[in-house]
Amino acid sequence: MKVIDTHCDALLKLQGDYRDSFRTGERVLDYRNADKLDTNAGRLRKGDVKVQFFAIFIAPGIPDNEKWQHALEQVDCFYNEVIAQEGFVHIRNFTEINELKPDQVGAVLTLEGSDAFGNDLVKLRTLIRLGVMSLGLVWNNANLVADGVGENRMAGLTNFGYKVIECCNAHDVLIDVSHLNTAGFTDVIDKADRIFASHSNARNVFDHPRNLYDSQIRQIIKKGGMINIVFNPPFIKEGDVSIEDLYPHIDRILELGGRDNIGIGSDFDGIASYVDRLRDAGDFPNLSDAIDQRYGSVFTAKITHENFINSYC
């Protein structure tokens, strides 16, 4: 079963290896088959991943004057290591997903958090020209655009944040609400043309700040957006987590009317623990089989790839 996965953090790992090579004199991570990369090329092919989203992410603590450089280095990794692979295709318009050949893998560049461009729309437009197709306005912290779920003051979009939304609307860039707090979410729903949650679960099932309230899920569905189920165990339940523990999150989204609005956003390469039998992208068939057994083949096709194609392509 073909898979569209809307979030991974492989670029951050590749950039770290690139920087380490200045000290060690050699690269350790080969994107083709590095074991430390959950979404390496071999694993994507093994898992029948048709499209993988690759996030640019600036880690907390990076000095402001270095963030742009970190972003460019991750873009460079995307170009020189990811889409340089045989059969990998850079997706610059979602309609191009429909044009992929059976043996090709589509790669989408995204931005997780606005820290990379600060208060500079020229930098944002530059990233869009380089291929960024979706923008998560924040990570958990606050920035010059909005507050994330970890910020105590719980403010919404700033004045500059509204300009960022206008820029994204003008360039047909998806706004990712996964890390926004409730105030920011409300602001975005009102102003953004196209939205989705790249990697979030249902808060009614498990009360974690990174999960979405029922009201938020309903608003995303009403706007024609998608909620992409995430595999990070702390967002699913306490303790050890199995594939079956994803079912309550899926069920809740279905109960709220999201049969055509649910997808997959693994968060591979950005998580410290794993769902049993979902250790890397090569394990996607385990998920497809489990969903097929519980929900049937029609819904399995929807959640793995058809809903995204119908919503955005």
Read off the pLDDT of residues 68-104 as tens digits, 9 standing for 90 and up.
Answer: 999 999 999 999 999 999 999 999 999 999 999 999 9
Residues 38 and 8 sit within 8 Å (Cβ to Cβ): yes
User: What is residue 122's three-state secondary structure?
Assistant: helix
> Is it the case that residue 229 has pLDDT exceeding 90?
yes
pLDDT of residue 76: 98
What lies within 8 Å, CB to CB, of 207 at 6+ separation is none
pLDDT reading at 141 higher than 90: no
Q: What is the pLDDT of residues 145-200, one digit of tens each?
A: 877 787 777 778 999 999 999 999 999 999 999 989 998 899 999 899 999 999 99
Distances (CA, A) of 79 to 74, 85, 125, 135, 218: 9, 10, 18, 19, 37
What pLDDT score does 92 carry? 98
- pLDDT tens sequence across 1-42: 799 999 999 999 999 999 999 999 999 999 999 999 999 999
- DSSP structural state of residue 80: I
Q: pLDDT, tens digit, for every residue of 94-105?
A: 999 999 999 999
pTM recorded for the entire structure: 0.97
The per-residue pLDDT for 152 is: 72
Look at residue 21 and give its three-state secondary structure.
helix
CA distances from 187 to 1, 78, 135, 152, 195 (A): 36, 31, 15, 18, 12
What whole-number percentage of the chain has pLDDT above 90? Answer: 91
Q: What gap in Å lies between CA 8 and CA 134, rounded to an integer?
A: 13
Q: What value does the mean pLDDT of the chain take?
A: 96
pLDDT at 143 (0 to 100):
79
Average pLDDT on 108-116 reads 96
| Residues 260-311 pLDDT 10s | 999 999 999 999 999 999 999 999 999 999 999 999 999 999 999 999 999 9
Q: What's the pLDDT score for residue 78?
A: 98
Q: Is the dihedral of CA 251, 274, 287, 1 positive or negative?
A: positive
CB atoms within 10 A of CB 102: 6
